[in-house]
Amino acid sequence: MPVIQRILVPTDFSLLADHAAEYAELLAQSLGASVFAVYVLSPPAVVDGTGVAPGLAAAGIQPNLEANLENAKSSLADFVRRHFPSRDTVSEILIGTPYSQICQFAKDHSCDLIVVGSHARGVLQRIFLGSVSKCVLEHAPCPVLMVPIAAVEKPMESSHDATGAS
């Protein structure tokens, strides 16, 4: 039987990511698992006349990226304090394509589960834009628990209520 010892919680700092973190914390408490929280900062792309060039090479982009990185560090620290206050949580800012960085981090850190929120989008948006959670699900090196947006509107039962104990 698989053992879940390392749970990865990617965040985009949305309400849905907050709710997914609640599920991750509940699982971590129940299983005695470690938690890893990550945020992926996507560097901007710049059109250079011959196509799209990586944004880091463009003049003026680097200082903006550094400011975004500092904001992300602060936001991730706040996310960890709010959702995992009594737990030693590894947190890291990654730079690149979100789904790719999340999957690589899970592989590199031998994560056993990824808990991610899933935004409800229309069919056309999913076809043309895809979604980070969908790509993580397709490429992850471990199981993925997707928390749908509908779950945000339904309050979580306490573990006391969920077990039926009185």
Give pLDDT tens digits for 93-147.
999 999 999 999 999 999 999 999 887 555 555 554 458 888 999 999 999 999 8
Contact (Cβ atoms closer than 8 angstroms) between residue 61 and residue 46 = yes
The pLDDT score that the predictor gives to residue 121 is: 58
pLDDT band for 80, please (50, 70, 90 cuts): very high
The one-character DSSP state at 154 is S
Task: Of 155, 166, 35, 136, give the one whose Cα is nearest residue 90.
Answer: 35
Between 67 and 21, the higher pLDDT residue: 21
**What's the pTM value of the predicted model, to 2 decimals?**
0.79
The pLDDT score that the predictor gives to residue 165 is: 46
The one-character DSSP state at 41 is E
The pLDDT score that the predictor gives to residue 152 is: 63
User: What is the 3-state composition of the chain as percent helix, strand, coil, each rounded to the nearest 5?
Assistant: 50, 25, 30
Between 91 and 51, the higher pLDDT residue: 91
The pLDDT score that the predictor gives to residue 132 is: 87
**Is a pLDDT exceeding 50 seen at residue 163?**
no
- Superfamily assignment of 6-163 in CATH? HUPs (3.40.50.620)
Give pLDDT tens digits for 22-59.
999 999 999 999 999 999 998 765 555 555 555 545 55
pLDDT band for 2, please (50, 70, 90 cuts): confident
The total of other beta-carbon atoms located within 10 Å of residue 125's CB is 12
